[in-house]
Structure 1
């Protein structure tokens, strides 16, 4: 599996054109909102958004810019989860989940120092993930994914509780984004 496969999965899951009245993102196609499309140079009808444009946005904004390639060198599973969460909640939120999970799993800093929650992939975050993997082995990925998905699930519930319109999406978020 590689980033192209992840992008294909996201586009398949997100589906085609949508303009749900409860979606604050407005018109969306293949998961790309109108605002994201405009910010990246696409100004035509969202119904006609080219797949190649969506693929480019996903690659650049949700994989390359946040530095998930570096995470993939340590753990493909964690990088894939970061990508999927970034697409749905933004890269900073996804990275924050990783940093929080790493801090909670470092056994009171016995394994590695706590990370500053700066929501960026940097040397310290990568170092903590390397150390976590060295201590816990590849099986540690399953625990890390559970921790990150627990944080993601809690966030979805909070979004639905804070804005009733989000309840229209909660079932799909939990069914398609967790686990």
Structure 2
């Protein structure tokens, strides 16, 4: 089973402590949690003082359990890890839409399983498609699916930098630390 605590520790290590980069539209963050997200979760103090335990709870709830990445982890741990990491950086809805788009594009015109709606939510249809894909394609298929999701993620990063030049300050780090960083080459 996927160790969500280890994934959270990796994200917190990558995100670091308090940061308030002038080019970041998300504003100040601590442990990678934006002030806006902390406020929505009931934290009222200065974000620079956000306890690590509060950040861990936010990551577990908003970026693992609520979007049902734990369900994905039961069948494809590497895909779930990618969903979690992308969800932290771009939002869970965007992460799930990458999975759904990739599954639709890889179903050979619905010969292998039916297309699913790209609604950014993990539900029964998304899980059915994922299980069907993995049953048909096996371990290698999980790696290919992960590559497809990362390709969509990389394209979005490039588009963000092209549309807003201030995002170029982050592009190198996004590509270096987010694309392929979870791909161990092991079966998904």
Q: Same fold (TM over 0.5)?
A: yes
RMSD after superposition: 0.7
TM-score by length of 2: 0.94
Shift of 1:57: 0.3
Aligned residue in 1 for 2:83 = 82
| 1:25-64 equivalence runs, <5 A | 25-64=26-65
- Distance (whole Å) between structure 2 residues aligned to residue 87 and residue 79 of structure 1: 12
Encode CA deviations 1:64-88: one digit per residue, 9 max, x unaligned: 0001111011100100000000000
SS at match of 1:23: coil
Aligned residue in 2 for 1:92 = 93
Which sections of structure 2, spanning at least 5 residues, go unmatched? 181-188
1:110 aligns with 2:90: no
Aligned residue in 1 for 2:183 = none
Aligned residue in 2 for 1:159 = 160
* Equivalent residues, number: 179
Shift of 1:16: 0.7
Which sections of structure 1, spanning at least 5 residues, go unmatched? none
- Distance (whole Å) between structure 2 residues aligned to residue 69 and residue 28 of structure 1: 25
Aligned residue in 2 for 1:13 = 14
- Distance (whole Å) between structure 2 residues aligned to residue 115 and residue 176 of structure 1: 30
Aligned residue in 2 for 1:130 = 131
SS at match of 2:134: helix
Q: Structure 1 runs of 4+ off > 4 angstroms?
A: none
- Distance (whole Å) between structure 2 residues aligned to residue 144 and residue 166 of structure 1: 27
SS at match of 1:96: helix
Shift of 1:53: 0.3
